[in-house]
Amino acid sequence: MSAPSAGGASRDGYGSALLRLASDPRVVVLEADLGKSTKSCLFREANPERTVSLGIAEQNMILVAAGMASSGKIPFASTFAIFTERGFEQVRNGVARPGLVVHLCGSHGGIHTGTDGSSAQSIEDLALYRTIPGMTVIHPCDDLSSEELTIQLLDHDKPSYTRTARNKTPRMYDEESCKKLKIGKGSKLREGSDVAIIACGVMVSEAIRAAEELSKDGIGATVVDMHTIKPLDTELIDELVRECKGIVTAEDHSVIGGLGSAVSEHVSYTGGVPIRMVGVTDRFGESGEPGELMDLMGITYRDILDSCNSLLS
């Protein structure tokens, strides 16, 4: 894997994907007043006749999308991650329970959102959507992987929730390598036999940085971009259990119910190795710059590094 390069925010990849998907007449886009922030505005500007802007009415947006899905359309609906939670009951009963294929995107997820503060920092969204039967849950790490995974949703036969981030992160992929990504299959970015770091979203670049630091001490770390939290790539996790001495998970999300929980649940059934979870503990966020907040919440590469060393000791 080549060194990370400067990139864009994963929300930018979502907007680019919608433009590419516009060639399919079944694709429709729904907004709840935040198209500029989620980047669905790009589709709206080019295809206003296939865009429905519902204002600040997230529950209504979900049910309008459900109606469109039942009529043969492929709806992509987006708002802030925290505001998708307003429509949770509609996602459960109006979309997933009847088996309709609606693709929901929550932008500005996690502590990385920064100065908007705790009321806007969704640290529980991945956990919520994991609980809904049949729901696919995706959290890409950069703009290119976000674009590729969103494109793949065109042929996905289940409802989905994708979390994107507001701020730019280093690119983990280039135009070619991102084409190898598949929904439901984790992506190995680096290989080592001592410890496995499984990360998602903005924490993937932090995981790579931690692995580089570990290598200076002769410790080999595998780094996995587990962009799909559900369905989880359990085959890859089983492989890591066989090959490594332990697993550290890393996410900009609560340690309750997210990626770390998903990995731990699987390993608890199959047995194997010790696990450490790097994530937001049982608390709300605060207002501040992303770097400050990540330090405060204990979700930087240094915290991954400490967890790996603790596990190996």
- Could you give the angle at the alpha carbon of 178 between the alpha carbons of 175 and 184, nearest 5°? 165
The total number of residues written for the chain in this structure: 313
Do 107 and 80 form a contact (C-beta atoms < 8 A)?
yes
Do 146 and 140 form a contact (C-beta atoms < 8 A)?
yes
Exposed/middle/buried for 182, CB within 10 Å: 0-12, 13-18, 19+? middle
Token code pair at residue 182: 């598949």
Q: Choose, from 58, 85, 124, 206, the residue flagged as catalytic.
A: 58
The b-or-e profile of 58-69 (16+ CB within 10 A means b, else e) is bbbbbbbbbebb
Q: Is 58 a catalytic residue?
A: yes
Exposed/middle/buried for 277, CB within 10 Å: 0-12, 13-18, 19+? buried
- Could you give the angle at the alpha carbon of 85 between the alpha carbons of 84 and 90, nearest 5°? 85
CA distance 294 to 209: 15
Distance of CA 173 to the CA centre of its chain: 15
Packing angle between helix 143-152 and helix 10-21, nearest 10 degrees? 40
CA distance 253 to 248: 14
List % helix, strand, coil for the chain (3-state, nearest 5).
45, 20, 35
Catalytic site positions:
58
